[in-house]
Amino acid sequence: MQQELVERARRGDHDAFATLAAAAIFRLDAAARLILGDPEQAKDAVQETLVRAWRDLPTLRSAARFDAWLHRLLYRACIDEVRRLRRHRFDVDLAPIDHPDLDDATAVMVDRDQLERGFSRLEPEARALIVLHHYLDLPLPEVAIALGIPLGTAKSRLHRALQSMRAALDADARPRAELAEGRLA
Amino acid sequence: MIARNDFNGVISEWLDEQAGRGAPDYLETILARTTRTRQRPTWSSLERWLPMHVAYRARLAPINRLVWTAIVIGLVALATAVLLAAGVGQRRVPHFGAAANGQITFVQGGSLRAAAADGSNPRTLRALPEGAEQLTFSPDGTRLAYRTTGSVPSLVVAATDGSDPIVVASDAALATGEPFGWSPDSRRLAFTTMVPGAGRIGTIDIVNADGSHPNQVIHGSAAEALDRFAPAWSPDGQWISFFSTIANGQVALNVAHPDGSGARELPTSPMNPDVIEMSWSPDPALSRVVYVTGGYVAMFDLATAKETTVGTGFWPTWSPDGERIAWWSDGSQVVGVADLLAGTARPTALFPSPGSGNCADHPEAAGRSSCGPAQWSPDGQWVFAPDVVGKSILIARSDGSGHVRTIALDPPIDFWKGPGGLLAWQAIAP
């Protein structure tokens, strides 16, 4: 069904494209909000994604690749959005995060604020990796295609991104644990 | 507080919570934008273009063998010549003539930037509105026009450094992603708007460069009868050309006087709907156009109705004197018009092909291969184009001699907005 719509949209059928866009906009908007952390920026990125998708659909080589292609467009639009804003404002220069080795099996006690802080400290490219894999549930090979990077690079970057996040969470949690033990008094 | 041994699961769960369930409310806005955005030609993907080499040969040959077609073309040529002669009574605009090279200006990210003609002194002139596209100097080199592509697109005319911008047209119906044209006297602009309530029907509008006297070229019910788009002004100012979609899904090339009179379809070869590229020879003494259709570039002489194939490819541009044509065919090439007409054309290769597939698939060809229209310096000595990944502007001598110069771009030009209209070379009086 989707492939038929893509084929029709490729031939200029705007109604078919509207159906595809309606089906995709929720997940694109949610993913963009997660990557960019700002609803207005996300809206701009999704608009750019879908306008580019419509304009460039005739050049899509395989209708079966539509979703992966759309995710790649979204990723590019999000990164463009970040670059655009960087030119117009001063970004807070975050201190580098230590990356202690953490065993995946280690139990983690986290609250949502900590997760949000840890996630927001990641570079947008790293946030995009996590969102594509853990929110959109794309397998890593699909993520690699969407980001235009080799599979091995996607794997290592995802591992590093998650490590960074867990390290940040750990660093956040440490003072509280120490406070609880009376060591910071 | 979430307590989990599975950190990946924690992340997925948290992302799902953060994403929420509310449906975005801006789908209609997007669809309004896509409605007035034409799709890119299929062949603009290099890989899709390559097989068309064979297709065009097969298509043109039988047409040329038909004697009756020659007779029809001859009759139409006669009619066209009469029509052109009728237009001579109107005031001719002097040709701007040979010009000197001003600054190279380009849209990079959200900024208007410039460099000297030799590539030195790259600098930021000012921030541009989001989505600025189709950067176009006026023929006299004194002003710069561009279009913004937000929810309500605008056509803007500014000084050459981007200062003093004037919005000369602003409407949700303004078509984006396609060319608009300056009149040769640099006083007016022609552009496409979508006819309200008429589906995806475009029509050609004209406005003075100060925003006064907006006017529709084709009026009344005729405006809704045909989808017209991509206007370009003839160098003598007598005609505006534009494309129209016709009943069988194909595209025709048309001309009309700026006041809407004399509208007619030109007897070019049949075109497919991918066609959105056409430009007039700068020489006002010759009514010649080049255009693209189905993977090949053709030159059409309005006076004789003779069509000459330039070669397979796309992105054709005229040299300032109208004596040469640059286009993209397995890399950027240049050919002499006189040689073309004599059947002795030997194109000169300027920037090599990056290979098959999309330009972005060839980062290894950065700084070497072009991906965009090869445009001419105002003095005709140089040709320039963005490289395959938009990380530099390539500048080569138009005769192919010497080394290719580059202007580095960091960050790269945003190709997603289309390779055309992001670079322009200002002409200044010699």
pLDDT of residue B64: 54
Chain B interface, best mutation among A46, A54, A74, A137, by max B CB count within 10 A:
A54
Closest-CA residue of B relative to A26 is B23
Shortest Cα distance from A76 to chain B (angstroms)? 9
Instruction: Give the residue-averaged pLDDT of A36-61.
Output: 88
Among all residues of chain B, which has the CA nearest to that of A128? B15
pLDDT at B249: 62
CB spacing of B19 vs A33 below 8 angstroms:
yes
Residues of A in contact with B110 (CB under 8 A): 84, 87-88
- Residue A37: closest C-alpha in chain B: B18
pTM value is: 0.59
B198 contact residues in A (CB cutoff 8 A): none
B109 to A58: CB separation less than 8 angstroms, yes or no: no
Chain A nearest-CA residue for B129: A84
Question: Are A25 and B47 a contacting pair at CB < 8 A?
Answer: no
Record: contact A14-B35, CB cut-off 8 A? yes
Kindly determine whether residue B39 and residue A57, on different chains, have CB atoms separated by under 8 Å.
yes
Q: Is B11 on the interface with A (CB under 8 A)?
A: yes
User: Which among B1, B177, B360 has the least Cβ separation from residue A55?
Assistant: B177
Using a CB–CB cutoff of 8 Å, tell me whether B391 touches chain A: no
Query: How near does any CA of chain B get to the CA of A183, in Å?
Result: 23
Cβ distance of B414 and A80 shorter than 8 Å: yes
Query: With contacts defined as CB-CB under 8 Å, which chain A residues touch B47?
Result: 61
**Which residues 115-174 of B are in CB contact (within 8 Å) with A?**
127, 130-131, 149
3-state secondary structure chain B: CEEECCHHHHHHHHHHHHHCCCCCCCHHHHHHHHHCECCCCHHHCHHHHCCHHHHHHHHHHHHHHCHHHHHHHHHHHHHHHHHHHHHCCCCCCCCCCCCEEEEEEEEECCEEEEECCCCCCCEEEEECCCCCEEEEECCCCCEEEEEECCCCCEEEEEECCCCCCEEEEECCCECECCCCEECCCCCEEEEEEECCCCCCCEEEEEEECCCCCCEECCCHHHHHHCEEEEEEECCCCCCEEEEEECCCCCEEEEEECCCCCCCEECCCCCECCCCCCEEECCCCCCCEEEEEECCEEEEEECCCCEEEEEEECEEEEECCCCCEEEEECCEEEEEEHHHHHHCCCCCEEEEECCCCCCHHHCHHHCCCCECCCCEECCCCCEEEEEECCCCEEEEEECCCCCCCEEEECCCCCCHHHCCCCCEEEEEECC
Read off the pLDDT of each residue in A18-30 and give the average, rounded to a whole number: 94
Assess B25–A contact: CB distance below 8 Å, yes or no.
Answer: no
Residue B131: list chain A partners with CB under 8 A: 48
Angstroms from A156 CA to nearest CA on chain B: 15
Q: What is the mean pLDDT, run by run of 10 residues, along chain B of 430 residues?
A: 60 84 84 78 46 29 54 63 42 51 81 84 85 83 86 88 91 81 93 76 90 86 77 92 77 89 86 70 88 82 91 87 89 92 92 74 83 86 86 90 86 56 76
Q: What is the ipTM of this complex?
A: 0.77
Q: Contacts of residue A21 in chain B, CB cutoff 8 Å?
A: 27, 30-31, 34
Quick one: pLDDT at residue A88? 42
Q: Is the pLDDT of residue A6 over 80?
A: yes
CB contact under 8 A, A50 and B273: no
Chains A, B: CB contacts within 8 A come to 138
Residue of B6, B8, B10, B34 to mutate for A, most A C-beta atoms under 10 A? B34
CB contact under 8 A, A14 and B34: yes
Question: What is the pLDDT, as a whole number, of residue A90?
Answer: 33
- All residues of chain B having their beta carbon less than 8 Å from the beta carbon of residue A135 are 12, 15-16, 19
**Which residues in chain B touch residue A131, judged by CB atoms under 8 angstroms apart?**
15
Chain B residue numbers with beta carbons less than 8 Å from the beta carbon of A76 are 416
User: B232: distance to nearest CA of chain A, Å?
Assistant: 22
How many CB atoms lie under 10 A from the CB of residue B173?
18
Contact in structure between B159 and B218 (CB atoms under 8 Å): no
Q: Which residues of B touch A109 (CB under 8 A)?
A: 1-3
Nearest-by-Cβ selection for A111 from B1, B5, B18: B1
Q: Do A112 and B17 touch (CB under 8 A)?
A: yes
